[in-house]
Amino acid sequence: MNQMLIQREDTIAVDGMLGAATEALLKSQREDGHWVFELEADATIPSEYVLLVHHLAEKPNLELERKIGNYLRRIQSAEHGGWPLYHAGAFDISATVKAYFALKMIGDDINAPHMMRAREAIRARGGAIKANVFTRILLALYGETSWQNVPTVPPELILLPRWFPIHLSKMSYWARTVIVPLLVLAAKQPIARNPRNIHVPELFVEGVPVVSPRAPHQSAGWSFFFNTLDKVLKIVPWPRGLRQRAIDECVRWTTERLNGEDGLGAIYPAMANSVMMYDTLGIGPEDPRRAIARKAVDLLLVVKDDEAYCQPCVSPVWDTGLAAHALMEARTDAADAAVARSLEWLRHRQVLDVAGDWAEERPNVRPGGWAFQYNNAHYPDLDDTAVVVMALDRAAPAQYTNEIARGREWVEGLQSKNGGWGAFDADNAYYYLNNIPFADHGALLDPPTDDVSGRCIGMLMQLGATPDDPHVKQGVDFLRRSQMKDGSWFGRWGVNYIYGTWSALAGLNAAHVMPDDPMMTRAADWLVKVQNPDGGWGEDCNSYKLDYRGYDAAPSTASQTAWALLGLMAAGQVDHPSVARGIQYLEATQGPDGLWAQDHYTGGGFPRVFYLRYHGYPKFFPLWAVARYRNLKAGNSRHVTFGL
């Protein structure tokens, strides 16, 4: 490999790389024109799936359980005996408790070596009572711990007026959809049916108190206030009529957003909670509401020859939009034809008739966005919308005039007051809410982020806005303020500063911020500085730690290398030696099938809590970067003319 990496730039076999990568991506396109790749998280969701089946006392699919068991055992860490949140990550007590419980439910002997290692690791850290809030809720549902060890979330929360400091509209969409059915579960406190009568008392250490009510990200003052409030709520007698009214409203709210076979919020935790909510209220499996909610959960399963797991959600719109961008750079007849088919598929996924939860903050904005999943009409997002609109505009602007205009209108309408864009809502920055006991994950909100803001700026400029356009100017000012001291930008939805820096640079380049602007040169210098000796780039999920002090070296990955290359090219640095070295790294690591292997997680779910392995990322991002490199080197200009 080293010999290959030191070859001269003009001998890079770019055309051969592109041909093989393009062909491989084209082969994975679905018949109707879209792409969707596996979206893998950690052990928690497959484990929760197993436990959901037994909570409901459904007849288990023993072959499916066997395959999930194989998957869980394979991803167990040989180093620390537990389960991490991402490939080669540190021990996570919550993931490990759930995986152990699921494997015991499946039938694994607790004295088997892998179970003993996991159990010892859990007990060494204080036992299962030290797990996070969501894990303690699962344990309470199984009767393993008391609801007194879980923060109080009264269903009356849904009846509060919008001006009240704690209100569902002030939380992120994912928090809303998970919490509302959970309010009913917390009020009714059902016990799982658990026909096998499996319990995990061995995971608890006698005399060890529940985990500290103050999470590391929470302030002392706010934490004291909210924990005092939690103690009061635990003893307050709620009027029976008010409680029933609140539960009825939770059911109405959930049912309205049930989203067919795509599920509540189109994310597993919300879907599973909705099924358990209906079950708790005596709504049987034959009821259409519960039946469709349960079907949605099963549609997340990935079942292979000898393994299976449950995805947190699916990503067809995101995968299709990004694959289209990569193939437009490839510039072949077959690629162009595939893009045309994909855009027709995307066209019909635009949400034009549902004013979702986002409309509470922006009631005068018309719908016009795209969601991440197949269908999620109440929750389209700015990131997908910007990516799709730029693809439509680049490929056939005259053909998609109306779709582009409505997408632009929606993006402009959801810009936050500080100039940035969040993912699903405008001005969702009520940071004090991250201090409530329930928010030990620190991911209750959806504030404006650097990566989504860069994407929206790029979209507006590609559609003909000028740098003086108020939306663009405020967005650029947001990025100028948020740039880190070392020149990078934070990556909320991709790991991490490499992703954020590429996203910001793409938007800033589109906004005519010149390569010699200090904001651009500092970012480019940072990317060059963090390049690995092998020519690639890599960054670990641990970079989201609260005490982050700067970049720590990590193994190179195909997707992060592609992001760094795209970022440098957006910064006007296509001729920099680091870019040629990065392209050489991709050449050296391309597989015989035209693709790149990547076990490391490079997708962001919730920092420090939940990460994603997008199986599509190493399939289209390297192709995109290599094709753009070829196009810029062969053209008359070194300037990237698109918003992404």
- Which sequence positions are flagged as catalytic? 383
Residue 484 CA to its chain's centroid (Å): 22
Dig out the tokens for 571 from the structure. Answer: 């910064």
Contact 339, 380 (CB under 8 A): no
Distances in Å between the alpha carbon of 18 and those of 29, 117, 636?
17, 46, 21
3-state secondary structure 140-178: HHCCCCCHHHCCCCCHHHHHCCCCCCCCHHHCCHHHHHH
Among candidate residues 162, 159, 136, the one with its CA nearest the CA of residue 238: 159
Nearest to 539 by CA among 553, 550, 528: 553
Q: What is the DSSP letter of 609?
A: T
* CA-based nearest residue to 17, from 353, 329, 466, 395: 329
Cα gap 638→581, rounded to integer Å: 18
Alpha carbons 210 and 230: distance in angstroms, whole number: 15
Residue 507's identity, in one-letter code, is G
Q: In terms of Cα–Cα distance, which of 308, 269, 51 is closest to 180?
A: 269
Give CA–CA dist 398/406, Å, rounded. 14
Return the closest-CA partner of residue 251 out of 340, 363, 127, 155.
155
Tokens representing residue 323 in the block: 């694959």
| Cα–Cα distance measured from residue 256 to residue 437, given in angstroms and rounded to the nearest whole number | 28
Collapsing DSSP states into helix, strand and coil, what is residue 428?
strand
Task: Tell me the sheet residues that pair with 127.
Answer: 204
CA dist list (Å): 6 to 17, 99, 351, 561, 578: 17, 45, 49, 17, 12
What backbone phi and psi angles, to 5 degrees, belong to 428? -90, 70
Cα angle, residue 472 at apex, residues 466 and 474 outer, rounded to 5° = 140
Neighbours of 27 (CB within 10 A): 9
**CA geometry: angle 32, 33, 38, nearest 5 deg:** 95
Name the nearest CA neighbour of 49 among 144, 138, 150, 179. 138
